[in-house]
Each structure stands twice: as structure tokens, then as C-alpha cells.
Amino acid sequence: MLQEVHVGHKSLADYQSVVVPPLIDEIREIARELEGARVLHINATSFGGGVAEILYTLVPLMRDVGLETDWRVIMAAQEYYESTKVIHNALQGNPIGLTDAQKETYELHNKIAAESLGGGFDFIIIHDPQPVMIRHFAGDLGAKWIWRCHIDTSTPNQTVAEYLTPYISGYDTALFTLNDYVFQDLDMPIRVISPAIDPLSTKNMALSPEDADYVVSQFGIEPDRPLMLQISRFDPWKDPLGVIDAYRIVKEKYASVRLALVGSMATDDPEGWTFFTKTVEHAGDDSDILILTNLNNVGNLEVNAFQSRADLIIQKSIREGFGLTISEALWKAKPTVGGNVGGIPSQLEDGLTGFLVSSPEECAKRCIKILEDPPGAKVMGRRGKEHVRAHYLTPRLLRDYLKMFIELKGAG
């Protein structure tokens, strides 16, 4: 079934002093053509992932500019999430595909969700593969249907991709993060829109150094020791084991350095606890490695404090749909080391706002370079913040969605 997600109020006017100045006026002008349009977002979870974070801002901002916007998530049995995790991994290149039983579970829960959908919407946005079959089972309902893919599908498991392609082809348009992610054999309109972060959210609002130090001190972080940080799910694609290996190399030169790995456990990621355990085992008994989740009372404020306090931030992904943690880190004016994959290079300017790397050894080398040059690190951080201001804040994402709606509306 589908369950409504309740969100708070946000005002576009509050972003006037944060984003590039003409953007707010441009958004309001576009939105006038869509006054009263009904929009529905559907995904698999209301917390624990980048999609949910985006929607907690995007949905109320759409409402603020005059669109009647709702957000619903699929509520299903554990077997469904196990099936969708296989699909997620396969689309990112894992050779393991779906069993017949997993396909049956996946299709059944999409059918049940479709039956609870109802009508009356002008635009329906389905996020990622978990609910992709809802369009097939529901029919068009008089709406324009958009499939929004947030993950890295540049080298998918072809068997799984071919299984999903006929269902995706039923949409009015498919929306990807990068051109490289577009499925082969999709004979339909394609659009490319990058995601964005909310600069006014609890995770990204400005924190004073004193406030950040106080928050992280509650977790045993000392103010006078250098801190390396990765914020991500405990997922093999995020490579926390490689981050630990890089940290160990850095520690040979900087004995006082600490590493914090902070991640959120999501309902649609049943493998998360398994890989969390692997990460803890890889860290061993090193008391300078801190591994935390939302179950340790680490929420958005605490993540903000860790990012604000860190001397450098890492996102050493092996595969990455986009990696909003890069923009989050740069928004805090932190030099950042990221895997040279997916959407990370579009956010991170190598050598200017941080470094792109492809191995633990290279990651360690770049981390050492940042720690050796504090003035240079500050310059990198300032450049990074301005890059994010110009390209990766939510009002820009809102504008891009509104422009897409108008184009779809005009297509008849």
C-alpha cells in the first residue's frame, strides 16, 4: 500500500539571501503557469536516504509556489525490500539478478500500491526502481508520468535492465542524473537533472565552531585532534573499508588523526546491518575509529556538526548515483576527497575544491596533502562553497522540475 508522508512548511522567500539572486524571481514566474497543478511523488522510504532528504524540501517548496503536492511511500513486507535491494545493486553493476520468487514479490507489491493510488493528479513522479511498475498497473490516470532514476546505471546488469525497460518505457519521460546513466534501448523522451541540497535544513544550516565542537564532543571527539570523516550508508558501494585503509596510511604520518564513519540505517536497505558489521570488524579495536548510526542519536544536527568540525571529508564511493554528501561537505567549506565515479566529479573540481581518487592509497595521499596545508585547505573550501551555491542548491532543482512540468504539459 501507499502511505502519505507529512512534511513541514518551507518558504521560497527564505532562500533569497542564499542562492544566486535572479533565481527566485525566475522560479515564481515559471510557477505562475502551473498554479493549482496536482503533483505526486512516490518512493520507497521516508528516511535514511538522499531521495527522502530531497523530498522533505522539494515537496513543501512546490506547495509554496502554488502546486498541490503530495508524497507517498510504499509500505510492504520485508521480502519486497530484499527484492528491490537486489534490483538496486544489479542496476549499479552487480551480476546477481532476481529469482522468479523475487520478481513475483516485487510485482505483487507494485500492483497493490497501484491499486491504492487513486487519481486526480497532473504529474506523478516515481523515484528509483522500487515503485517503477506502479505506472504499468495503474494506467495513465490522466497524468503525466515521470520516472526519476537517482542511481548510477552506467553499467547495469543487462538481464535486470531488460526486465525493467518495458515498464520504464510506459512513462512520459525518464529523468536521470547524468547522461552516462541513461539506459540503452529506452525509446522515450529523456531528461537530465542533477539533485541538490537544502542549505537551510538542519543538516546544512550554518553552525558556529563552538556549537559544532560541543555537539561532537558528546561523542568523544576532541577539539585539538585532526578529524577525517565519511558520511554515508554502510554499503559496499560507499567503500567504508577502503576509507579505513586510507585512514591507517594517514595515521602513520599523523598519529593523532581520528576517523569518524557516520551513516543512517534505512528501511529499504536490508543489507545495511550486514555491511555495518563488516565495517566494525574491519576497524578492529582501534579506539580512534568512531562508527555511528542514527541509532546512536546521530540525526541531521549531529551530521552537520561532524561535517562542520571535520578537517577533511571523504566520500570514497566505488559507485555513486550522485553523492549529495559531496555538496554537503563543500557547502560547509571543507576540502573533500571523493571517488572518481558517478556524479562526484560533476560536484568536486579536482585540485580546486578537493581531490578525486580511485584507491585507498591515492585517498590517503590526498588526505595527507590537505592536512599538510591548512591555508590551502581553507581556499579549497571557500571555492567549493561558491560552486555549490551556483549549481547544487534546492531552488535550482525546483526550477528544473517546474520547467519540465511545463514542457510535459505542452506536449499534450
Reference 232, options 327, 316, 127, 310; nearest CA is 316
Whether 371 and 226 have beta carbons less than 8 Å apart is answered as yes
- Predicted pLDDT at 267: 58
- Predicted pLDDT at 389: 96
Identity of residue 25: D
Whether 18 and 71 have beta carbons less than 8 Å apart is answered as no
- Predicted pLDDT at 100: 96
Counting as low any pLDDT under 70, the low residues of the chain are 48, 266-270, 412
Return contacts of 134-142, CB within 8 angstroms, 24+ apart: 134/42, 134/110, 135/167, 135/170, 135/171, 136/110, 136/167, 136/170, 137/110, 137/111, 137/113, 138/114, 141/117
Q: Which three cell numbers stand for residue 25?
A: 524571481
3-state secondary structure of 312: strand
- Predicted pLDDT at 395: 98
Whether 91 and 108 have beta carbons less than 8 Å apart is answered as no
- Predicted pLDDT at 223: 87
- Predicted pLDDT at 269: 65
- Predicted pLDDT at 295: 81
Is 0.85 surpassed by the pTM of this model?
Answer: yes
- Predicted pLDDT at 176: 95
- Give me the domains of the chain, ranges plus CATH numbers: 2-196+393-410 (3.40.50.2000), 209-391 (3.40.50.2000)
- Predicted pLDDT at 279: 96
